[in-house]
Structure 1
Amino acid sequence: MFAYRRKQNCEDQVELELEYKYNYLLNLGMSKDGLPMFKFIVVGDQSVGKSSFVKQYSEGQFHEGMNRATIGVEFVKKLVIVDKRRVELQIWDTAGQEQFRSMIKSFYRGAAAVFVLYSINQRDSFEKLQEWLTELHESAHEEIVKILVGNKSDMERSVQKEEAEKFMNAHNFSLFFETSAKTGENVEKAFVEAVKLVIMRMFTSESFKNSIKTTKKTPASSKQNTSRSDQPISEVSQLPSKAIYLQSNHTQDNHHAKKQCC
C-alpha cells in the first residue's frame, strides 16, 4: 500500500509539473486559438524530400508523382498532442535551390527548431550539409534545436548511418533520424521528439526562450475554445497551409497553397 501511494504521489507530481509548464507556455507565444505555438523550419538540398516529409507529417499522405521543386517557402499549421497537451506548430518548408538560399535566411528568425534534411540515396546532399549548417549558424539563434534527418530510408543507401551519426555528434545536433516520407517511418516521431526538446530547452535557457517568443494574438471566442476542448485528446488536427513565393527582388507575396515538391 505504501509503495502504491508513493507511486501515485510521483505521478501526481509529474502531472502538476506538466500542467505548470503548459500554463507557462500559454503565457508566451500563442496561436489565434490560444495554444502554445512553435515555428519549425525544414531545410536541405533540392530533391531530398522536404515537402514530402512535411506532407507526410501534416496530412499522412505521400504522392509518388510529387516531383516539382518548391518555389519560395510554404508553411503548414498542425496541432500536435504532447504529454496530453495541445501545441500548434508552424512548419516552414523551404526551397532548396541555390537562387533562393540568401532570401530564406530571414525565415530562421523566431524558429524553435530546424530539420536539416539529406537523402540517404544522394551522396551529394549529405556532403552539402556543411553549407546548410553555415547558413543556419549565421541566421538562427545559437541554441535552436537542430535535428538531422536522413530521408528516403526506403531506398538503397549511399550514405551509411554511422557517417551521419558521426556528423551529428561533430556538429552538436540534438537528434538524428532516418525517415521515409513514403512509408511514414520515424516522421511523426521526429516532430514529437523535437517538440519535447523545445519545451525542455525553454526551461533551461532564458535566451532561447526569448528568441522564440511570438506576439500574442487574441484567443478565439470561448465558444470556439470549448468546441476544441471537447475533441478527443488523441485527435491531431491539420490546419490550412499557405505559400510564400520569393521573387528575385526579395519581395514576398502571399498566395493560396499549391502542391509543391520536395
Structure 2
Amino acid sequence: MNTFEDHGVIVTGAASGIGRATALKFAALGARVLIADLDPVGAKAVVEEIAAAGGNSLAVVGDLSEQAVVDEVVERAVGAFGRLDVLVNNAGIMDRMSALGETGDAEWERVLRINLTAPFLLTRAALPYMLAAKRGSIVFTASEASLKGSAAGAAYTAAKHGVVGLVKSLAVMYRGQGIRANAIAPGPTATNIQVEAGPDAQGPFVIGPLIGATIGRRGSAEEQAEAIVFLASDASSFVNGAVLPVDDAWAAV
C-alpha cells in the first residue's frame, strides 16, 4: 500500500468503530486527518491517539446533516492541511429493522437524513477543492443492506441503496476530472452501532432467520478500514464506481 504522506483526509463517524480504525490507518500512512463526529469525547480520544503515535489530526464535532457543520468540516480541513485528497463518508445509524408498514415518519426521515443526505452534503462541499486539484478519492460506507433486502429495515435499506446510486453517479459524472468514487459494503462488523427493534416488530421477525442462515463470521473494524484505505489509494487507480462487499461472502449466498 502506498503512503498518504501529507495528504488531507476527512473521515466521518471517526470517533469509534470503522471510522476510528480508518482514521488511525490513514494517519499511520502519513495522512493528516480530520475526525468528524457527533461524539466529542470519542473524537478527542482519537485525535490524542493519533498524536501519541506521531500523527497529525484535528476534530470537528457536530451533526453532519446540518449544512453549517458540513461547511466547517471542509473549510477546517482545507485550512489546516492546505489540500483535500480523500473524503470518507462513513458516519451512519441503523434503523429499528422496521418493515415499511411499521416505519414512522421520524425513523424514516432521521435514517435518510444521516445515512444519505449527510454524505451528499459533504461530498458536494468537498468537490470544488478536489476538482480544482484535478484529483480526489471519495469512499462511502454502504452496507450489505445496499445489496439486498434482507439485511435491515425499510429506511436503512433504502438509504444504503441510495448511497450506491450516489457513488455510481459520482463516478460517471466526474471520472474525466480526476475524481473517483467507490464504496465498501460491510457485513456484520464488531462496532458500537445499535439496533433498537420493538418486541412485536415484523421486520426483525422476518429478517432475523434470513440473516442467521446466511451470515458468516463477524468482521473487525480494522478489516473494513483496510478496504477503505485501498479504495482511496493509488493502488485502486482504475477502480471507480465499485461497491466492494467486505462480508465473508455474505453477499454471495
Q: Which of the five TM-score ranges fits, normalised by the shorter chain? A: 0.3 to 0.5
**TM-score normalised to structure 1 length:** 0.32
Of Structure 1 and Structure 2, the greater strand share is in 1
**TM-score normalised to structure 2 length:** 0.33
Larger Rg: 1
